[in-house]
Amino acid sequence: MRTFIVFALFAVVAVSARPDSTYTDKYDSVDLDQILSNERLLIPYLKCILDQGKCSPDGKELKAHIKEALEENCAKCTGTQKSGTRRVIGHLINKQATYWDQLKAKYDPEHKFVLKYEADLRTVAAH
């Protein structure tokens, strides 16, 4: 279950990606609501990608793809992953702001990518 959690949680990473293609859709059917509502599942992965805790193999894979997905506007994501990414980021912005700020500082310190999404995602997550 933990393997599914990390990939579904951020929906922007995959075990492997083919060049000029999409990330694998292997984890697209995971229930994001369950993950986002359970901090025991969510927080360890956040700490992993922030270099504040141990990483499972799938956590390491997540870390390896976050920056690329952010910089490329999730270009290799499937439709389900794009939708899931918006939900997860909206959740982090609205309910885990401290972790969201830390993620921005680590993966987008110049705020080149995240600011264009924040206002929209605050609204989306409120619904």
Distance CA 108, CA 99 (A): 13
CATH topology of domain 32-121: Antennal chemosensory protein a6 (1.10.2080)
Q: Where would I find the H helices in 11-111?
A: 32-36, 39-49, 57-71, 79-95, 97-107
Q: What is the pTM of this model?
A: 0.75
Domain boundaries, the chain: 32-121
pLDDT band at 123 (very low <50, low <70, confident <90, very high): low
The average confidence (pLDDT) of the chain is 78
HSE, side-chain direction, 13 A CA sphere, residue 29: 2
* Alpha carbon of residue 45 to chain centroid: 10
